[in-house]
Amino acid sequence: MAAIFQGVGAAAALSSLPSNSFDSKNILFSPRRSFSVRKAPSFVVVRSDGTMNLDLNPKGRRAQQFIANAVATKEDSSAASSSSKPGHELLLFEALREGLEEEMERDPRVCVMGEDVGHYGGSYKVTKGLATKFGDLRVLDTPIAENSFTGMGIGAAMTGLRPVVEGMNMGFLLLAFNQISNNCGMLHYTSGGQFTIPIVIRGPGGVGRQLGAEHSQRLESYFQSVPGIQMVACSTPYNAKGLMKAALRSENPVILFEHVLLYNLKERIPDEDYICNLEEAEMVRPGEHVTILTYSRMRYHVMQAAKTLVNKGYDPEVIDIRSLKPFDLYTIGNSVKKTHRVLIVEECMRTGGIGASLTAAITENFHDYLDAPIICLSSQDVPTPYAGRLEEWTVVQPAQIVTAVEQLCQ
Amino acid sequence: MYSNMVTLQTLDTIFYEAQRQGRISFYVTSIGEEAINIASAAALTSDDIVFPQYREPGVLLWRGFTLQEFANQCFGNKADYGKGRQMPIHYGSNKLNYFTVASTIATQIPHAVGAAYSLKMDKKDACAVTYFGDGGTSEGDFHAAMNFAAVTESPVIFICRNNGWAISTPTSDQFRSDGIAVRGQAYGVRSIRVDGNDALAMYSAVHSARHMAVNEHRPILIEAVTYRVGHHSTSDDSTKYRPANEIEWWRMARDPVTRFRKWIEINGWWGSEAESQLRSSIRSQLLHAIQIAERAEKPPVNDLFTDVYDNIPSNLREQEKLLKETINRHPKDYPADVPI
């Protein structure tokens, strides 16, 4: 049995263990080791004979370069984030952690449960240091049974705690679908309002760098139909922290979608306490010619395409919809009324994704304001292939966005 | 304890008949399991949080849910705490620490572990209790929840009503292990097997389980062996898959209510006059409650849209407006007795 760990920091610490006598139990169950933080995502392969390989994914560095571009682009555009105060700089996963930590300090009922969230610090380091600070009871390491620990979180929420359930990868939450759909979304309604479920379910999803089909799921398309839950997607350190805090303060069950490739984004965020409204979209770049609606990682592809479009003389308005359920039709509507052209760029599959619902919602509500049919760019209806080149082509690329805008604006 | 068992039995009989008469749409009886219901409830405190499957209305009865409240839920009228949204017998009461029944099997078991964890964190002198049948132990949720409870050392009592049948599936087709109690051992959970039809044995089993769970912070599994005398529900006819004489034997010779009655009669605390008085009083109370519930108003159409979220979002408000407009345009197509 070879276990593959993908985690920031796992690599550095494991190299300090004696390479011959490796006890697989140490990795999983000895939580008192401290792991140093490393920025590059890397793979550690533990083999059954006890030897280890450190396999630094060469593509990981390419991912870092790409993300650096995206951050540069974002700083150019209108920043909805920075305040007048100096603030402090941090990475997206640190922003999530900061938001979580502040809420845990503020409210003793907030607790975290998930796989490896305790002393390991979480596979993406979002919960690093929290177990040491708040104790093992408030940051609970669970066995591998997503349906059950999500159910456990729901039970705890109904009894007065405010749990955060972490799916190590959003795709694993498919195992928790029964609890999320039949219980989490439903029990407040069927009990006649007697029991509330203030739970936050979060985790990384989306297409990463060669994570394989099963680890590249976009769960927002499957969950969007469940009544009773709210869904938000973060894309910058600023809105990651704000949405995390708002979700924890909400009385409704909230699913917070993070993206595997966005955890290392750096940004300067305000020092003071702030939250981002769960139902609001974010205006990334105001414009006049076309409304581009997007969320999560595709925001950066859109901004990159926006640079090219500006050079070609177009003025796109870019909105990060952030709230996937319900849609912020107010902001979106105002934009549509201004530009009369809509392009949706998403990572979901073509069939039944967020884009499909958004297209329907806009057509239903703002049909008279549209000068052209809505174009929706999404991934194809295929499982994400492992081969790097193929994987790249399942995700919408900036060049396609540019072409679509040109087509829309003819 | 005895009068509650009789009440439960009578409640079940009368409501079952009401369903057959078409007055309520659906019902699930607990005939044959009265001892499990009442005796286990009696051994708990009102602070203990209960996560039921659906064959445990006796626990609510013990805690003070009135016959009228039962009737209101089954008729889905305005006084129902669930606001008419769930099927009959899906009772729930946050006041009495009894979580609303969900139709899904075994999903309540991890909930109980979560609640127990919450109680442990808050250092409360209480435990979580969850009930499920022999069929529910095949679900993945059962196994993972048991494992979790053991690992997190949560004060939770798992009560399995091994009544021999999961709709039409006998236990020989459900599992090949030596009952359910042996499964607890596999997860490191102390297990007790008890005769579910013996009210006193059931009481003492739950009593000691609770003591262990709360004081030692550990989960306990209780397998209460019994028999499902009634059909699975009003949509089922169990004579199709089991012999009628078997059902009769368990109903008459092994009835837990009769068994307990014999014991209290022998001790001189009960007699046949008290018995007939009790039964007729409960029966008339029940019929009265049903009459009132039947005549009561149904919940308004507004309640279709509330409680999905804490505050009604704009899209639901729109949908509500649309529905009201449609009702106003076609009043003849909508029932007159449902208020807007």
Strand partners, B165: B170
Q: What is the dihedral of CA B12, B18, B19, B23, to 10 degrees?
A: -140
- 339-398 in A: which are within 8 Å (CB) of B? none
Strand partners, A203: A257
**Tens of pLDDT, residues A110-141:** 999 998 888 888 889 999 999 999 998 899 98
pLDDT at residue A84, as a whole number:
56
Quote the percentage of chain A above a pLDDT of 70.
79
Q: Which of A203, A208, A202, A173 is nearest to A384 (CA)?
A: A208
Which secondary-structure segment (H or E) carries B72?
Answer: helix B67-75
Q: Contact, B98 vs B59, CB < 8 A?
A: yes
Domains and CATH numbers, chain A: 87-268 (3.40.50.970), 280-407 (3.40.50.920)
Which secondary-structure segment (H or E) carries A46?
Answer: strand A43-46
pLDDT band at B330; cut points 50, 70, 90: confident
Residue A213, judged by CB atoms within 10 A of its CB (0-12, 13-18, 19+), counts as middle
**Tens of pLDDT, residues B260-299:** 999 999 999 999 999 999 999 999 999 999 999 999 988 8
Name residues whose C-beta falls within 8 Å of residue A61's C-beta, 6 or more positions apart in sequence.
Answer: A40
Q: Contact, B27 vs B157, CB < 8 A?
A: no
Mean pLDDT for chain B overall = 93
Which fold is adopted by the domain B1-295?
A: Rossmann fold (3.40.50)
pLDDT at residue A36, as a whole number:
39
Here the contacts of A23-28 (C-beta below 8 Å, separation 24 or greater) are A23/A50, A24/A48, A24/A50, A27/A3
Backbone angles phi, psi at A316, to 5 degrees: -80, 145
The pTM of this model reads 0.76
Q: Flag whether pLDDT at B167 surpasses 70.
A: yes
The span from the CA of A39 to the CA of A8, in Å, is 6
A51: its two tokens? 């030897």
Q: Is A279 on the interface with B (CB under 8 A)?
A: yes
Q: Which of B94, B118, B143 sits opposite A156 (nearest CB)?
A: B118
**Tens of pLDDT, residues A16-35:** 434 444 343 333 333 343 33
Cβ distance A151 to B145 less than 8 Å, yes or no, reads yes
Q: Where are the domains of chain B?
A: 1-295, 301-330
Write down the catalytic residue from A101, A103, A146, A347: A146
Q: Flag whether pLDDT at B243 surpasses 90.
A: yes
Is B168 tagged catalytic? no
Q: Flag whether pLDDT at A256 surpasses 80.
A: yes
Q: Is A182 on the interface with B (CB under 8 A)?
A: yes
Q: Which residue has the tokens 């089909």?
A: A213
Signed CA dihedral, B24, B26, B28, B31: sign only: positive
Residue B274, judged by CB atoms within 10 A of its CB (0-12, 13-18, 19+), counts as middle
**Tens of pLDDT, residues A280-320:** 999 999 999 999 999 999 999 999 999 999 999 999 999 99
B165-166 and B156-162 beta bridge pairing: unpaired
pLDDT at residue A13, as a whole number:
38
Write down the catalytic residue from B46, B103, B118, B235: B103
pLDDT at residue A85, as a whole number:
61
**Tens of pLDDT, residues A342-372:** 999 999 999 999 999 999 999 999 999 999 9
**Tens of pLDDT, residues A45-89:** 344 444 444 444 444 444 333 333 333 333 333 444 444 568 999
Q: B88 CA to chain A: closest CA distance, Å?
A: 12
Strand, coil or helix: A381: coil
B9: its two tokens? 């039995």
Tell me how far CA of residue B143 lies from CA of A145, B136, B161, B167, B214, in angstroms: 9, 10, 16, 21, 22
A222: its two tokens? 């499957």
Segment A321-343 shows an average pLDDT of 95
A230-233 and A323-325 beta bridge pairing: antiparallel
The span from the CA of B20 to the CA of B64, in Å, is 27
Q: Is B160 on the interface with A (CB under 8 A)?
A: no
B171: its two tokens? 């236990």
Question: Radius of gyration (Cα) for chain B, nearest Å?
Answer: 21
Q: Flag whether pLDDT at B200 surpasses 90.
A: yes
A109: its two tokens? 């009922």
**Tens of pLDDT, residues B105-153:** 899 999 999 999 999 999 999 999 999 999 999 989 999 999 999 999 9
Write down the catalytic residue from B93, B231, B232, B238: B232
The span from the CA of B25 to the CA of A285, in Å, is 56
Q: Which of A179, A227, A230 sits opposite B107 (nearest CB)?
A: A179
A282-285 and A316-320 beta bridge pairing: antiparallel
pLDDT at residue A79, as a whole number:
43
Segment B153-166 shows an average pLDDT of 95
Q: Contact, B25 vs B86, CB < 8 A?
A: no
Segment B66-84 shows an average pLDDT of 92
Is A146 tagged catalytic? yes
The span from the CA of A47 to the CA of B279, in Å, is 70
Cβ distance B92 to A195 less than 8 Å, yes or no, reads yes
Residue type, B211: H
Q: Is B135 on the interface with A (CB under 8 A)?
A: no
